[in-house]
Amino acid sequence: MHKQARIIAICHPKGGVGKTTTTMVLAAALAERGYGVLVADCDAQASASAWANAAPELKPFPAAVVNLSAYAGKVHREIQKQLDKYDFVVVDCPPGLDSLSPQSAILVADLVIVPLPPSPADLWAARGVKLLIERGLGLNPSLKAVILANRVVRTSLSNAIMRELNEFGIPLMSSRLSNRTAYQEAVISGVSVSALGRDAQVAIGEVNAFADEVLALIGECK
Ligand SMILES: Nc1ncnc2c1ncn2[C@@H]1O[C@H](COP(=O)(O)OP(=O)(O)OP(=O)(O)O)[C@@H](O)[C@H]1O
Ligand SMILES: [Mg+2]
């Protein structure tokens, strides 16, 4: 059957907000549902590749991972070469406002997800990605963009910022990832959160709800 992968780019100009975590938990959740998934690792730090390489030999990471960081502003061409082989390409973008690969990925993406910890500094930094998306919409009018609240904690400051995110101008996903060690354990072990078993029940539920919402959003893109 001829496939035409849908492209999901995970972007935020600030480092450490959860781009690679979001990429890898989403890619694994989609792959575990039977979809063919490629992670396009566009970051020279190669954290997504390192995550998959840490997987146990007998239990490889469920999605394929390719490092495209050398292609910078031409990653969209490399991604397009893979579209007939997969159902989804999830693009892990590097941080940095001047980085060319997020702009390139946004050119061909169906959906951009902006992981955003509800803290003031991360919210300010996200204004950069808003500009990037607004510019991308000029060239790719069918692009959809959403914010995923990540590392959510229950404090009054976090709750206030979550309310502010609703006004940010990019829709806030109703699913969210809370601040949990399961997400860090998955990196160290090179696995999906579902592979962590019973101890990671809450994280597994969060990731499933996140994957459901992404599929619904992508369905709307068709
Ligand atoms: N929901 C979460 N709960 C707990 N820890 C998290 C969560 N999301 C991310 N982290 C941790 O925060 C750190 C940064 O996350 P991650 O590498 O995904 O960010 P990034 O945006 O890809 O960073 P960079 O810009 O450097 O590529 C990692 O140690 C990761 O395990
Ligand atoms: Mg990263």
CATH code of residue 157: 3.40.50.300
Contact 124, 158 (CB under 8 A): no
Whether 186 has a pLDDT exceeding 90, the answer reads yes
100 assigned to some structural domain = yes
Mutate to test the pocket of ligand 1, among 12, 20, 91, 207 (most ligand atoms within 8 A of CB): 20
Number of domains in the chain: 1
Contact 186, 192 (CB under 8 A): yes
1 assigned to some structural domain = no
Contact 36, 62 (CB under 8 A): no
Residue nearest to atom 14 of ligand 1 (CA): 16
Whether 222 has a pLDDT exceeding 60, the answer reads no
Q: What is the pLDDT of residues 147-176, one digit of tens each?
A: 999 999 989 988 888 888 888 889 999 999
Q: What is the residue whose two structure tokens read 């061909």?
A: 108
Contact 14, 122 (CB under 8 A): yes
170 assigned to some structural domain = yes
Between CA 180 and CA 162 the distance in angstroms is 18
Among 53, 63, 11, smallest CA distance to 170 is for 11
Among 136, 80, 135, 94, smallest CA distance to 111 is for 136
Q: What is the pLDDT of residues 25-66, one digit of tens each?
A: 999 999 999 999 999 999 999 999 999 999 999 999 999 999
Domain residues for 131?
Answer: 6-221
User: Ligand 1 pocket, 95 CB below 6 A?
Assistant: yes
Closest ligand 1 atom to 23 CA: 18
Q: How confident is the model at residue 168, as a pLDDT?
A: 87
Residue nearest to atom 18 of ligand 1 (CA): 18
Query: Separation of 11 CA from ligand 1 center, angstroms?
Result: 13
User: Ligand 1 pocket, 180 CB below 6 A?
Assistant: yes
Residue nearest to atom 7 of ligand 1 (CA): 151
User: Ligand 1 pocket, 144 CB below 6 A?
Assistant: no
Non-local (6+) Cβ contacts of 155 within 8 A are none
Collect residues with CB below 5 Å from ion ligand 2: 19-20, 47
Among 191, 182, 198, 183, smallest CA distance to 57 is for 191
Q: Which secondary-structure segment (H or E) carries 138?
A: helix 120-139
Whether 196 has a pLDDT exceeding 70, the answer reads yes
Q: How confident is the model at residue 1, as a pLDDT?
A: 54
Among 85, 87, 82, smallest CA distance to 105 is for 82
Contact 7, 80 (CB under 8 A): no
Mutate to test the pocket of ligand 1, among 11, 17, 20, 21 (most ligand atoms within 8 A of CB): 21
Q: How confident is the model at residue 159, as a pLDDT?
A: 86
Q: How confident is the model at residue 97, as a pLDDT?
A: 76
Q: How confident is the model at residue 129, as a pLDDT?
A: 84
Whether 220 has a pLDDT exceeding 70, the answer reads no
Between CA 220 and CA 78 the distance in angstroms is 25
Q: How confident is the model at residue 165, as a pLDDT?
A: 86
Whether 203 has a pLDDT exceeding 70, the answer reads yes
Q: What is the pLDDT of residues 100-134, one digit of tens each?
A: 999 999 999 999 999 999 988 888 888 888 888 99
